[in-house]
Amino acid sequence: MESDNSAGGKCSLYRLNQGIASGEIIVVLGNCMTLYEGRGAAHSGYGDKIIVVKSDGSVIVHGPTGFKPLNWQPDTIHLEFKEDNGDVVLRAVRGKPRETLIVRCRELYECISRKARADGGFYMYFSEHEIRDLIRSDPSLIEKNLKIVEAEKPVEPGFVDLYGIDGEGRTVVIEIKRVKAGEDAARQLYGYVEKLRRSIPNIRGILVAPDFTESALRMLQRSGLEYKRIDLKALYSRYSSRMKNLQSLRRHRSLEDFL
């Protein structure tokens, strides 16, 4: 298909299917609808969508906002772009379980198809529990003279990651996130602090994360709460041997519980 929808030829059916055959990454921006049938059924109406076809045949469809995909196909046994009544249609079929995702585009704005470079690697330094254990063993990572009294302290409607006392005798509640903390994390901490404030007037709340969204920082400021940035890569380099000991101790305790 080499119509006005071709965005300078980059969205031709030949080019798109050639990209699939060559194991290229394909990104398409267009006005599309989706139809899914398999373990359930779902559809979305026409609107601007971003379609990503990866070199392994997996497919992801995003709307214009939000981070969660509208549809995804983790692997495919059949993947092809076709023309149907002037529309460009992507059909992605998964084998086990049998699932079909159809993306019909009545207009294509832009298409990119190219070979992906070698993966630079993905490194996950800590889980939230490991960060919690590390801070519990060395509270100075948050501030001097901080003492941790309890981990996973029950506070309705959940559990506070760390509960301690600062150098001036004030209660400190710490909530930990291993990824960029959003407003929901700030609200979670605020809920814990307000619940405890009924019996403990002099209380602080600290949100700990590698980074924070602007809305989270505004929420923390409005609520009189604090935050602490942590560099996970630096922590890993500094405390890797200690983390191995903590992991070994955790496995040992699990074995004792089993015996």
Q: In what order do the strands lie in the sheet with 226-229?
A: 147-155, 158-165, 171-176, 203-209, 226-229
Question: Is residue 194 classed as helix, strand or coil in its secondary structure?
Answer: helix
pLDDT band at 8 (very low <50, low <70, confident <90, very high): very low
pLDDT digits (tens, 9 = 90+) for 74-121: 889 999 999 999 999 999 999 888 999 999 999 999 999 998 877 666
Same domain, 221 and 159: yes
CB 108 within 8 A of CB 30: yes
Stated pTM of the model: 0.53
Do the domain assignments include residue 121?
no
User: Which residues face 155 on adjacent strands?
Assistant: 158
Same domain, 236 and 133: yes
Calpha distance 124→158 (Å, rounded)? 25
User: Is the pLDDT score of 144 beyond 90?
Assistant: yes
Q: Go through 237-258 and write b for each residue having 16 or more CB atoms within 10 A of its CB, e for each that does not.
A: eebeeebeebeeeeeeeeeeee
Do the domain assignments include residue 78?
yes
Do the domain assignments include residue 120?
no
Q: Which domain holds residue 225?
A: 128-258
Last residue of a domain, one of 55, 86, 114: 114
